[in-house]
Structure 1
Amino acid sequence: MIGLIDVDMEFHYGIERVTLAFYRSSGTNNNKVKGLWYPIVGIKTKEGEFTEFSEYINYVLSNTTLDGTGVKGWLAKSIFFGKQDENWKTPGFSNTKHYESLYYIGKTLQRLYNEKHYELIKSLNAMEVNRVLSLTERYNGNNHTQRENFERFIEDIFLEFKY
């Protein structure tokens, strides 16, 4: 299960609406909790190097995976596992200042899914998820595009991921 959720995110230039993507974990890998929703950057649509996302997102994913590549269908989430140290909390939610918010969204999506409070979008495939996350349109009331805001969010995590 993949989900898209619109959130209000605070940037240095103000609060803007941003669409984020999450997936529902089967609980089978990396100590993930079964049924909990974890954030993703997008979905790999072809084997090999990262080319299907924006230039910046491709750069980040190339620098947060072991060999800078991924298999088709891989949920691009490596950046949310960075900066593992003694203060590590729940893996998969970015051990940065965004941890609490991302974890809260994941728990909220888990509850909404369990209560069947969601809209099923049958056309939501990998290409559509990636397209929505990189829209070059502005949401109503925003001063920046979805892509600009999403990239700034990923950049914020990446800068903390590296150090």
Structure 2
Amino acid sequence: MLPAYVPNPVAAATGGGYPIDGGRYWRDGRRIFGDGKTWRGLFIGIGGGLFIGSLQIAVQSYPALSSLPEHTLLSVLLLSAGALLGDLGKSFLKRRRNLERGAKWPVADQYDLVIGASILLVLFNLSWIISTITLPIALAILIITPLLHRGANLLGYALGIKEVPW
């Protein structure tokens, strides 16, 4: 899951610039995504996921790491892009619920990246997800994701990258 875990903090740290929604509003009168979702953050965040995934691909041939799930460039791309598309979808839904940027939305805030990555994998690389995401791995993802999310947000807040610690 590293290619899915890395893009959001990378996007938060390097984002800014032109918003993906171009400042436009949805038919409900609210922003489509908001200023926090930018093209620069999207592309650099996906690049961060591709970088860490490429490292995983490079080292997966080492015998000591042979028990780890095997990645392909496609799985890495889908995990990376899916994580940020899941976050983008969550932002869209937050605006529809009249939640401002940075507002808490428990469960959705923690698992948006998993849902987005899983959807892309099911749509474009079903064989990889079936052969790789076993029940123990799925349970580990469900347990580890909120812990990593909380830790990354606390670190981002401490470094001044995030405005709120959640």
Return the TM-score normalized by structure 1. Answer: 0.26
Q: Which has a greater percent of helix? A: 2
The structure number with the bigger radius of gyration is 2
Q: Which has a greater percent of strand? A: 1
